[in-house]
Structure 1
Amino acid sequence: MSLPDAVRIREIAPRLTFQDHVVPTEVKIELVGRLIDAGVRAFELSSFVRPDLVPGLADAEEVFARVPRVPGLSLGCCVGNTRGLARAVGAGADTAYFLLSADEEFARANTGRSTTDSLRELERMAAFAADRNIVLGTYVIFAWGGPTGPARSGEDLEPLARRLLDIGVDHWILADSSGYAAPPQIRELLTAALRHVPPSNLTVQIHDGRGMGLAALLSLLELGVHAIDTSLAGSGGHPAMPGTQGGGLCTEDAVQLLHLCGVETGIDLPRLIDTANWLTSEVGVPGKGFVRHTGCVPSTAQPGEPLAFTW
């Protein structure tokens, strides 16, 4: 199995968790500060969407303004329309990803538009972003299927992929929003996507609702996709799907697996675990995961040395 030397982990808990779990702005700033101290440098920080629909993210501008800036930091967000994109530009977001759903029913529940109408809106947004200092990409939510319907194949992705390229949007986040994909399904759909865009333009966001997230992670790396979205303590949810498990792949579990495989993330795992426990216990956010309960695999390695385990 051939794996890369390093990957970029983008932490999405500030958006995914707090869109469903309302907390004061100060808590969000402390969370991001703790994660920066642990070495995280890429974030999906919030969403610029209607505050009446997602009240937990009504403070998006304030969060962007107050997050400490450090070298190498990348701050992204979600947007639902051109108005939200303009807010993201004004807040200084580096990247903005449109909330495009492959599932028609969820598209209407999430943004009030069909998938076809959403693509028309994305076309307007691409024209707006063309002369502004921001990278506009798009989610493909439920890319592998769900939330209730059957799995989607690489063939199912083809017409949507061609339409996105016609619009001029070639940075994609493919989200396994319902946790449908085992390694064969990961490989099939990613192979289809890679016929249209290079691996550097793809981010994959795995949701671990069915326990296959870590297995899927290694398949992504083998295919050359080195940008992965994860969520601290596996936390998260969505106001359009109340009561549904909506958490992302657990960041600290993913980081431990990567480090044990010799793949560098730049993240301090013990600090990450401390932050995950803080999030779940002191803030009261529901969480998942293993390593924060059991601790890291013991090692005698010094920083920069290959891992050497004590058994």
Structure 2
Amino acid sequence: MSEGNVVRIREIAPRLAFQSHLVPTEVKVELVRRLADAGIRAFELSSFVRPDLIPGLADAEEVFAKAADVPGLSLGCCVGNARGLARAADAGADSAAFLLSADEHFARANIGRSTVDSLVELERMAAYAADHGIVLATYVIFAWGGPTGPARSGEDLETLARRLLDIGVDHWILADSSGYAAPRQIREVVTTALQHVPAENLTVQIHDARGMGLSALLPLLDLGIRTIDTALAGSGGHPAMPGAQGGGLCTEDAVQLLELSGVHTGIDLPRLVESANWLATEVGAPCKGFVRHTGPVPRDGQTTKPLAFTW
């Protein structure tokens, strides 16, 4: 199968779900093991941030230490400052993504620092990462707009993109954190980003707050994006946005759409569905999604449970 027909799913539920849903460390590690058994190899595992701000991720070092026992995984994390980056490097993280918000109000609420001041901090961090062998990326949170303000365009990204390259950070995670983007908006902002960094340096993270998440996948493939962040069972939330629909694009729904579109993910969908149901029922995390309720579209020789229709 050609490289163009392969997508790397990076699973973010271990960070996104558990930053707002408190569970023991063993549950987090069990989730990673289940997902690894299903074929997922790339994870955003936790955040190295102040535990008083996000107590659900206070065990980041322990989670990294135990997840390292599972062979063949790429383990990333989020960081909010140079101290967090040093903790991530010491814990053995392969990569760390700085929490840079395109929305000024959320930047202050999330890490207590303006976007401009965050870029100054990121510049200091870039030098540390180069000296300590850890890949430093940056989020652009609310790249498409939100959490309450109007949508953002590709033009809105230009100034920030140039500043990031001046700093020397050329691995970006564009996050549609409020689920603003339909396919046209996806194409516009990603096309702008690709004028500054190659597709292999760009990850796109879609949140499904407004029901448009799956529609973003195929335009991303057309644009050459091959790393996509998703969250098992559409799980997730954020302590700075209580009550908001903070879940990521549902991993099992995304995998089904990709595989049926001829794109290889290397993920076992039935095992993924089992893991999603475990997360929803055994762990009790708030979850969404379709495939785990209806069953996957049957392949040759398979059947699926009939749906109950009300007329």
Alignment TM-score > 0.5, same fold? yes
Q: Which residue of 1 aligns with 2:66?
A: 66
Letter in 2 for 1:134: I
Post-superposition Cα deviations, 1:177-197, rounded to whole Å, max 9, x if no partner, equal 000000000000011000000
Q: 1:33 touches 1:68 (CA, 8 Å); kept in 2? A: no
Post-superposition Cα deviations, 1:210-268, rounded to whole Å, max 9, x if no partner, equal 11111111110110001000000000000000111100000000000011011111110
- The answer on 1:212 being equivalent to 2:198 is no
- The answer on 1:185 being equivalent to 2:192 is no
Post-superposition Cα deviations, 1:30-72, rounded to whole Å, max 9, x if no partner, equal 1101001111000000000000100000000000000154453
Residue ranges of structure 1 left out of the alignment (5+ in a row): 303-308
Q: Which residue of 2 aligns with 1:285?
A: 285
TM-score when scaled to structure 1? 0.95
Q: Percent of aligned pairs with the same residue?
A: 79
CA distance in structure 2 between the aligned counterparts of 1:224 and 1:67, rounded to whole angstroms? 30
Post-superposition Cα deviations, 1:119-147, rounded to whole Å, max 9, x if no partner, equal 00000000111121110000000000000
Q: Which residue of 1 aligns with 2:12?
A: 12
1:5 shift after superposition: 1.2
1:4 shift after superposition: 3.0
Q: Which residue of 2 aligns with 1:305?
A: none
Q: Which residue of 1 aligns with 2:141?
A: 141
Q: Which residue of 2 aligns with 1:25?
A: 25
Q: Which residue of 2 aligns with 1:125?
A: 125
Q: What is the RMSD computed on CA atoms of the aligned residues?
A: 1.7
Q: Which residue of 1 aligns with 2:230?
A: 230
- The answer on 1:173 being equivalent to 2:158 is no
TM-score when scaled to structure 2? 0.95
Q: 1:11 to 1:88 in 2, by over 3 A?
A: same
CA distance in structure 2 between the aligned counterparts of 1:39 and 1:63, rounded to whole angstroms? 19
Q: 1:87 to 1:301 in 2, by over 3 A?
A: farther
Q: Which residue of 1 aligns with 2:242?
A: 242
User: SS in structure 2 opposite 1:130?
Assistant: helix
Deviates more, 1:91-100 or 1:64-73: 64-73
Structure 1 consecutive aligned stretches of length 4 or more whose deviation exceeds 2 Å: 68-72
CA distance in structure 1 between the aligned counterparts of 2:201 and 2:173, rounded to whole angstroms? 9
Q: How many residues align?
A: 304
